[in-house]
Chain A
Amino acid sequence: MDLVDDIKPAQELIVALQKAKKNLRMYPVNNPVYARTIEETYRKFEEFLEQQGDFELRVRQNEIFLGEHAIYQAVDKDDNLAFFFFKDGVRTLAFKRGLAMDELREFLQAISFDFERQGNDEDVVTLLWEKDFDHIKYAVDENFLLEDEVYESEATTHAKVEMTEQSELKKAYEEVLKEEFEHREIEVMPITNADLIELVNQIENDSSDKARKFTGILFELFQTASPAEYPEIAELVRDSFEYSVRSGDLLSAVHMLEEARKKINESTPDLLKKNLEMLFVFASSQNIIKMLGEHLDSGLITEDGVFADYVQHLDKEAISSFISILGELKTIEARKILINALAFLGNKDIQALARGLSDPRWYVVRNIIYIFRKIGDRRAVEFLVRAVNHSDTRVRMEVLRALGELGGQGVVQTLKEALGDPEPSIRTTAARALGRIRTEAAKKIMLQKVSDKGLGNLDMNEKKEYFEVLANWNNEEVIDFLMKTLKATSFFKKARRDELKACAAYTLGLLGHKEALSHLQKLRGSKNRLLSEYAYNAIKRIEYGN
């Protein structure tokens, strides 16, 4: 076997390491590629250890050696595996037989850590050190940790400069022999099981929320600080707040907001109040809301009341930040949570929420309209009617639904116009909206619609929708119209007439109108299957209530 064949498996191992380092950074933990990469890399290590036994890699600035052979060489610093280890001081990396998949996973996770992330205080040696692997060992050159090369020798010389004088020593020695001896017995009590149990309890209790404790300290600092110190402490509060949000610890963030809220009262000095209030502005800022969005998507934050508690403390400035992330969220659950939040906040400022109606993303606009529906505030109507001509049908439908729920002036006319829309889904949605309004004016429009000559040309389902809407008015005028339709006779366009009769039968069934039973019985024997079936169902509904 020549040299190339000899070192090939080792080279492949390094390639696998590099690939794993890349993949683990690129794919989330739950992605199949992530797991597959670990398994494949492990298989390579397992095979190599099986064949070669324990091995040690020597790391140089741009090279990695196995024994005397360079198995990896890189030319520049980018994507350079050797330099990645070298720059933090790693000089050898040893892998031993018995290496487990979990160990290798942790090793790969350590080397694929995002060291460039802002605010990161880790290096690869610290991560490896913390893992304390059994089968992966490394040696580090600690020289670059030296702060001051001459400090040690200077400090040693300085410490030894005052040598113990023989004469002083002798004098004191003799004095001590004459002295009364003050006996200080230190009793070393053996550690007992009870001590250990107490210690375990203390350690377990100690793991409780540090962020909350820190918040307490920061607010105590306000208590004793001079006004000149307020801005600095307020900044610390915001840093701590941002950290809590960044790490998904919404409970601590809410706690901070609650504490700040408690501190603001009539007796709070203006300057302090101003500094405290800045936290609420910060909590509503785009940067923070963006982080919340990421956590919502990742499932780290769920709708468990904590998020709602958080939103309670936000001001209306948060609305625009929330709207901007609404369209970016990937999961339905996250969008639901955000919609609830916007429904709460939008109530505080309808106008701010209405700005979302101009968002270029149709689905965001639809969500905003849905939020207006949730809020149920008629002040929204003036903004909604402007969206009724939106280019996307789905948005227009949502507007009509909202208008139907909100009602109010101007709505009926808008809905009436929508009944003439060329798009059937818009027409039926407008009809349903009118039915929801249930005013006399709405009834008239609907009776007009169902009496319209052109109705016969429409699809049966659409006709049925209109007749169904009529069931919202259980009164004489509607019943008369329905009965007339039911009884109407004509030899022309019989099939279309029968469809209208079927619709009327259906609506009378919905209304439970017993007087219609005799006519319905007659129609049950109709040769038109559709009419016969609708009549039968209507009878059943009137007689049995279903």
Chain B
Amino acid sequence: MGISRQSALLSKDVVNQMAVIVRTSQIHNPTNIAVATSVEKFVLMVNGLIFEEGPVELELIGEYFYLNGERVKFSMEYLLNFDFLQREFKKRSLGRLKFNCEIKPEDVQAFLASFIACQFSADPFEELSAGLEHIKCMETGGLRRISEEAEHDLRKTVKRTYFNAVSFARGVMNKIKTGERVNIKKAKRIVESMVDTLLDKEEFLLGMTAIKNYDEYTFHHSVNVSILSIALGQKIGLGKKALMELGLVALFHDIGKTEIPPEVLNKPSSFTPEEWEIMKKHSAAGVKAICRMKSFDYSSIRSAIVSYEHHIHDGSTGYPKAMRISELDLFSRIVSVADQYDGMTSSRVYSRTPMSPDKALSIMLGRSGTQLDPLLLKFFVNLVGVYPVGSVVMLDTRELGIVSGVNSANFVRPKVTVITDSMGNKTAPYVADLAEKNASGVYVRSIKRALDPVKFKINIAEYLL
């Protein structure tokens, strides 16, 4: 498949307009003038595309819409509508909508009526498809499920991307220490592959950040912060190039730690006030390290700013004590959110007990507006959900599980890797989708509560890797 450049430009408007008609018809009756006007506009757009391209197929894969196989690219003003529409599709397990020939407003209105009516059904997709049987020009398909084999391959790719990034981060730190130049071309390529992986298989790569490594904390942390920052950047609608820049600066945000004496950096107990003062120097040291490691350019500036600012909070608290920082850089604020989340949920040398993801989020929400940007934090919570990947949960079936995938259409119903039976006995792990309902339309499993993984001595890597 494939579409012309003009159609590619129009495709984002089609998705946007579809969100508009769904939203409007949720408020008004399908015959209402507001609905009718926006439906007419939608019909014109779709028929225009059909005229140019022949049959038009809109498909939701992961977090993205594809039109005749091409990913629909959109700018920030469309973000909300795209986000809304993909949630509405997911709620109904609708993955594909095909327009075989020119459509009429009555067809769209019939579709909308079914689309609205089916949302509380036990099997919304089935009901929606049945409601559309008489419309010859429109065809629906369910959300595509990745086969086990394909998922295995995907996980392998994601794992490789992740560990290669960690290995690179380790190499960078060592090179900085020995005064060698860092291969920035390679850094960019590694971040590019992380961006691509996030765009395609967000939950898999986010899942990797839940696997913490105590011994190699600094390198894992750099990569985790980079991944979480890119994911947050993507959530707020940054373009590919900006995501790469963000991922790169996040990867180097703690580079100044190479200047901290190892006896302080690796101290297994709490820091003395003097040691804290030394630790705090890593932000400023990062500025120098970044400028030394590569030829000076725009990315040096951006990286150095983030290195310097990522512990400064709004209101100029935090460190270093900045005298003239009027407003924190957007990238600094993003990295700050990612840094706090990953730091809190990891076991570090000076704080071996990691927090559960939900507890970390709850603390971060308490810092909203003081230490963390409230708007970005809101987007972050929308990204990782109520039960972020890696959360240990007890289900209402009294089974234990580890959250392994976020459900952006319904945050309290993520995918969970079940690891015990209802008596607490370890079982062969399997993935349960908490959005799954039984024949009577009742959810098969629900989360009862989140638990502290440390208490259970559960090694998350055992299940997520």
Q: Does B461 contact A (CB under 8 A)?
A: yes
Residue of A54, A118, A210 with most chain B CB atoms under a 10 A cut-off = A210
Contact, CB under 8 Å: A151 / B456: no
A199-B358 contact in complex given A156-B159, A164-B419, A213-B305, C-beta closer than 8 Å: no
Contact, CB under 8 Å: A98 / B386: no
Cβ distance A200 to chain B, nearest Cβ, rounded Å: 6
Contact, CB under 8 Å: A173 / B189: no
Chain A residues lying within 8 Å of B451, measured Cβ to Cβ, are 176
Stretch in B102-110, B120-128, B261-269, B318-326 touching the partner: B318-326
Q: Which of A195-216 contact B (CB under 8 A)?
A: 195-196, 198-200, 202-203, 205-206, 210-211, 213-214, 216
Q: Does A527 contact B (CB under 8 A)?
A: no
Q: Does B304 contact A (CB under 8 A)?
A: yes
The docked-state distance in angstroms from the alpha carbon of A214 to that of B79 is 31
Chain B residues lying within 8 Å of A98, measured Cβ to Cβ, are 2-5
A123-B185 contact in complex given A164-B426, A239-B296, C-beta closer than 8 Å: yes
The docked-state distance in angstroms from the alpha carbon of A132 to that of B164 is 23
Contact, CB under 8 Å: B381 / A217: no
Chain B residues lying within 8 Å of A75, measured Cβ to Cβ, are none
A184-B76 contact in complex given A98-B2, A145-B164, C-beta closer than 8 Å: no
Contact, CB under 8 Å: A211 / B301: yes
Contact, CB under 8 Å: B185 / A220: no
Q: Does B440 contact A (CB under 8 A)?
A: no
Contact, CB under 8 Å: B386 / A191: no
Chain B residues lying within 8 Å of A187, measured Cβ to Cβ, are 381
A126-B189 contact in complex given A147-B167, A155-B163, A164-B426, C-beta closer than 8 Å: yes
8 Å CB contact of B450 from A118, A184, A206: A184
Q: Does B184 contact A (CB under 8 A)?
A: yes
Chain A residues lying within 8 Å of B424, measured Cβ to Cβ, are 169-170, 173-174
A166-B193 contact in complex given A118-B295, A199-B76, C-beta closer than 8 Å: no
Chain B residues lying within 8 Å of A236, measured Cβ to Cβ, are 287-288, 291
Closest to B359 in A: A184
Q: Does A481 contact B (CB under 8 A)?
A: no
Chain A residues lying within 8 Å of B136, measured Cβ to Cβ, are none
Closest to B283 in A: A217
Q: Does B190 contact A (CB under 8 A)?
A: yes
Q: Does B98 contact A (CB under 8 A)?
A: no
A216-B76 contact in complex given A211-B301, A224-B284, C-beta closer than 8 Å: no
Contact-residue size bin, chain A (C-beta under 8 Å from the other chain): 35 or more
Chain A residues lying within 8 Å of B459, measured Cβ to Cβ, are 159-160, 162-164
Contact, CB under 8 Å: A163 / B323: no
Chain A residues lying within 8 Å of B70, measured Cβ to Cβ, are 134
Cβ distance A220 to chain B, nearest Cβ, rounded Å: 6
The docked-state distance in angstroms from the alpha carbon of A103 to that of B4 is 12
Closest to A215 in B: B301
Q: Does B449 contact A (CB under 8 A)?
A: yes
Q: Does A35 contact B (CB under 8 A)?
A: no
Closest to B408 in A: A188
Q: Does B42 contact A (CB under 8 A)?
A: no
Closest to A152 in B: B163
Q: Does B206 contact A (CB under 8 A)?
A: no
Contact, CB under 8 Å: B240 / A132: yes
Chain A residues lying within 8 Å of B320, measured Cβ to Cβ, are 220, 224
Q: Does A79 contact B (CB under 8 A)?
A: no
Closest to A183 in B: B449
8 Å CB contact of A173 from B163, B323, B456: B456
8 Å CB contact of A159 from B382, B419, B465: B465
8 Å CB contact of B189 from A97, A145, A211, A216: A145
Closest to B171 in A: A147
Chain A residues lying within 8 Å of B77, measured Cβ to Cβ, are 196, 200
Contact with A along B203-244 (1 / 0, CB 8 A): 000000001010110000000000000000000111011001
Contact, CB under 8 Å: B455 / A188: no
Cβ distance B327 to chain A, nearest Cβ, rounded Å: 7
Q: Does B83 contact A (CB under 8 A)?
A: yes
Q: Does A8 contact B (CB under 8 A)?
A: no
Please count the residue pairs between chain A and chain B whose beta carbons lie under 8 angstroms apart in the complex. Answer: 234
8 Å CB contact of B216 from A155, A190, A211: A155
Cβ distance A5 to chain B, nearest Cβ, rounded Å: 28
Q: Does B188 contact A (CB under 8 A)?
A: yes
Contact, CB under 8 Å: B295 / A119: yes
Cβ distance A130 to chain B, nearest Cβ, rounded Å: 5
Q: Which of A217-233 contact B (CB under 8 A)?
A: 217-218, 220-221, 223-224, 232-233
Closest to B185 in A: A123
The docked-state distance in angstroms from the alpha carbon of A520 to that of B358 is 108
The docked-state distance in angstroms from the alpha carbon of A429 to that of B372 is 74
Contact, CB under 8 Å: B465 / A220: no
Contact, CB under 8 Å: B213 / A163: no
Contact, CB under 8 Å: A198 / B163: no
8 Å CB contact of B167 from A148, A216, A240: A148
Q: Which of B373-430 contact A (CB under 8 A)?
A: 375, 378-379, 381-382, 385-386, 394, 398, 400, 411, 419-420, 424-426
Q: Does B63 contact A (CB under 8 A)?
A: no
Q: Does B251 contact A (CB under 8 A)?
A: no
A166-B236 contact in complex given A98-B2, A188-B411, C-beta closer than 8 Å: no
Q: Does B166 contact A (CB under 8 A)?
A: yes
8 Å CB contact of A152 from B160, B188, B327, B420: B160
Residue of A100, A121, A125, A163 with most chain B CB atoms under a 10 A cut-off = A121
Q: Which of A66-104 contact B (CB under 8 A)?
A: 89, 96-98, 100, 102-103
The docked-state distance in angstroms from the alpha carbon of A196 to that of B3 is 30
Chain A residues lying within 8 Å of B186, measured Cβ to Cβ, are 145
8 Å CB contact of A221 from B163, B284, B382, B449: B284
Q: Does A243 contact B (CB under 8 A)?
A: yes
The docked-state distance in angstroms from the alpha carbon of A478 to that of B459 is 110
Chain A residues lying within 8 Å of B83, measured Cβ to Cβ, are 191
Q: Does A172 contact B (CB under 8 A)?
A: yes
Q: Which of B244-295 contact A (CB under 8 A)?
A: 244, 284, 287-288, 291, 294-295
Contact, CB under 8 Å: B385 / A126: no
A121-B294 contact in complex given A129-B192, A168-B457, A170-B425, C-beta closer than 8 Å: yes
Q: Does A332 contact B (CB under 8 A)?
A: no
Chain B residues lying within 8 Å of A126, measured Cβ to Cβ, are 185, 188-189, 192, 244
Closest to B451 in A: A176
Contact, CB under 8 Å: A206 / B241: no
Chain A residues lying within 8 Å of B375, measured Cβ to Cβ, are 195, 198-199, 202
Cβ distance A75 to chain B, nearest Cβ, rounded Å: 27
Cβ distance A244 to chain B, nearest Cβ, rounded Å: 10
Contact, CB under 8 Å: B301 / A188: no
Chain A residues lying within 8 Å of B300, measured Cβ to Cβ, are 243
Closest A-B pairs by Cβ, 9 of them: A173-B424, A119-B295, A159-B461, A206-B330, A152-B163, A151-B167, A121-B184, A98-B4, A147-B167
A contact set with B: CB distance below 8 Å? 54, 89, 96-98, 100, 102-103, 118-123, 125-126, 129-130, 132, 134-135, 142, 145-148, 151-152, 155-156, 158-160, 162-166, 168-170, 172-177, 181, 183-191, 193, 195-196, 198-200, 202-203, 205-206, 210-211, 213-214, 216-218, 220-221, 223-224, 232-233, 236, 239-240, 242-243, 247
Query: Can you name 5 A-B pairs with beta carbons within 8 Å?
Result: A126-B189, A147-B168, A152-B164, A162-B459, A163-B462
